[in-house]
Amino acid sequence: MTETHPKFAVVGHPNKGKSSIVSTLAFDDSVQISDTPGTTTKKRSFPLTVDGRVLYELFDTPGFQRARSVLAWLQKHEVTADKRPDVVQAFINEHRDNERFNDEIELLEPIMAGAGIIYVVDGSKPYGEEYEAEMEILRWTGQPSMALINLIDETNYVEEWKRALGQYFKMVRLFNPMKATFPQHLSLLQSIAQLKEEWIEPVNESIGLFKAFHEQMFEQTARSITQLLYHSLSHVERLPIKEEDATEKEKTLVLERYKARLREYEELEQKRVEKVWHHENLEKAQQALLFDGMDLFSKESASLFGLSRKELLITGTTGGAMTGAGIDLLLGGSTLFLGSAIGAMVGGAGVFFGFNELSEVKVLGQKLGKRYLEAGPMKNVNFPYILLNRALFHATKIASRSHALRNKVLLEMGRDFTSKWMDDEVRKSLEKCHVLFRSGDEVKPETMKAYEETIGMILRRLID
Ligand SMILES: Nc1nc2c(ncn2[C@@H]2O[C@H](COP(=O)(O)OP(=O)(O)OP(=O)(O)O)[C@@H](O)[C@H]2O)c(=O)[nH]1
Ligand SMILES: [Mg+2]
């Protein structure tokens, strides 16, 4: 850890969103946050590290508990302004073992060690005199400082807060840790740089690195989604079989494994994206990727993804065209599915245009030699869009989620989500790749790259 990076202590009254601000600015969802005042009891450092380099470091601290007593002590030791920081240090030294002042000492220590001050208030509560002792103590430390007004609720006392805070802090800004966008985050850093001349250069450097880091996050997300599509569409599940013909049980098994594998790919992809965006402690509520009963070829989903009737029919016929092409036996979807338990779950038209076109189950191998069942690769022309829609929705939610939130992520996609990213041009460029992914042929790196770029462009359109 280099010692030159800027450091900030986030301080204020209890329960005003200090830890939430630390969490958001440090991209760290491990910060303790709760609506019980006094949640943070010890100072803790949260560095924002990129490629092993610390961009800046934030200290989460407990809220002031006995500001008036502390201020009274300081004032009793009244000295000229230049000596005031020494008096604050003397207070710390003298009370280090005094439980009564634990919170004040915890919050003053990083400041006295050189951290800049970010004073947090809740602009939805009226201003009151009780804050003045806190602000006065902070002024005694002599450290550069700014105030952040966090609007926790609807009511708005921002104007009166601004008038009061302006008398103690050179800079007063509104900042909502739950809703802050990346540009707002950057703009806050830019203001922080102005607090101290020596900070301008390191903070600007951090901002540059932070922007590059953000770009990387988009690229990694696009790569992750591309991998998901490629692996899901090209996946082939194999199952050795005992007899010459596959049993119903074996057919069901290979399909179950095929579907389980596709769900696993999606889960892994989501985990990767969550890691990229530093959301590793997430709880999610999401409908699993369903294959049965999914009306993949309905008119409605066709128009949703801009597919023409012709395109749907082309896929519908490929299954039949495969028969005899070096394949011992191609099981027609209906024979297999109607007779099985899964078949029972496939509703109406889905039987003809849906699930049975998802993948094929083939029996391969020589007579009485080694034989196996194969499911996949994906044949359904609509499936990639369903998968992509889910992956893009998930990525959008994750990338724009504040690190200060502790609730479950509800991945409930609205009906209008697709129209936010899908248009004719996008679909055309994606479709070429989907055909290739589904074919099982080798995909050139430049084709992958092009797909990744299209996904990256879509992500940028969806996020910010
Ligand atoms: N709706 C909303 N809730 C917020 C906001 N900021 C903080 N909260 C909530 O307010 C509560 C307190 O937030 P914390 O970040 O733990 O506050 P703190 O100042 O660190 O509290 P202590 O550590 O107890 O001093 C939590 O329930 C947060 O979810 C906000 O901008 N909007
Ligand atoms: Mg806290």
- Based on the structure, what is the number of domains in the chain? 2
Q: What is the pLDDT of residue 366?
A: 60
At which of 143, 162, 195 does a domain end? Answer: 195
Q: From atom 3 of ligand 1, which residue's Cα is the shortest distance away?
A: 152
Among 72-81, 165-174, 332-341, the minimum mean pLDDT is found in: 332-341
In a domain, 203, yes or no: no
Q: Are residues 89 and 185 in the same domain?
A: yes
Residue 374, beta-bridge partner list: 238, 362
Cα(17) to centroid of ligand 1, in Å? 3
Range(s) of the domain holding residue 46:
7-195
Q: What is the DSSP string of 159-186?
A: HHHHHHHTTT-SEEEE--TTT--HHHHH
Q: Are residues 294 and 392 in the same domain?
A: yes
In a domain, 79, yes or no: yes
Q: Are residues 187 and 280 in the same domain?
A: no
At which of 166, 195, 224 does a domain end? Answer: 195
Q: Is 123 in the pocket of ligand 1 (CB under 6 A)?
A: no
Among 263-272, 305-314, 316-325, 450-459, the minimum mean pLDDT is found in: 316-325
In a domain, 206, yes or no: no
Of 33, 64, 403, the one to substitute when testing ligand 1's pocket (max ligand atoms within 8 A of C-beta) is 33
Residues 295-299 have a mean pLDDT of 46
Among 1-5, 124-128, 194-198, the minimum mean pLDDT is found in: 1-5
Q: Is 41 in the pocket of ligand 1 (CB under 6 A)?
A: no
Q: Are residues 78 and 155 in the same domain?
A: yes
Q: Check pLDDT > 50 for residue 214.
A: yes
In a domain, 256, yes or no: yes
Q: In ligand 1, which atom is closest to the CA atom of 15?
A: 21
At which of 139, 169, 195 does a domain end? Answer: 195
Residues 278-298 have a mean pLDDT of 74
Cα(411) to centroid of ligand 2, in Å? 28
Q: Are residues 191 and 217 in the same domain?
A: no
Q: Is 446 in the pocket of ligand 1 (CB under 6 A)?
A: no
pLDDT tens digits, residue range 121-163? Answer: 999 999 999 999 999 999 999 999 999 999 999 999 999 999 9
In a domain, 201, yes or no: no
Angle in degrees, 0-180, between the axes of helices 158-165 and 130-141, rounded to the nearest 10? 40
In a domain, 200, yes or no: no
Q: What is the pLDDT of residue 240?
A: 87
Q: Are residues 21 and 121 in the same domain?
A: yes
Q: What is the pLDDT of residue 1?
A: 44
Q: In ligand 1, which atom is closest to the CA atom of 153?
A: 1
In a domain, 382, yes or no: yes
Cα(14) to centroid of ligand 1, in Å? 9
Ligand closest to CA 121: 1
CA dihedral 87, 93, 95, 97 (to 10 degrees): 170
pLDDT tens digits, residue range 316-347? Answer: 333 333 222 222 222 233 223 222 222 222 22
pLDDT tens digits, residue range 5-43? Answer: 899 999 999 999 999 999 999 999 999 999 999 999 999
- What stretch of H or E contains 119? strand 116-122
User: Residue 142's domain is classified under what CATH number?
Assistant: 3.40.50.300
Using an 8 Å Cβ cutoff, are 303 and 365 in contact? Answer: no
Cα(63) to centroid of ligand 2, in Å? 7
Residue 239, beta-bridge partner list: 373
In a domain, 2, yes or no: no
Q: Are residues 124 and 248 in the same domain?
A: no
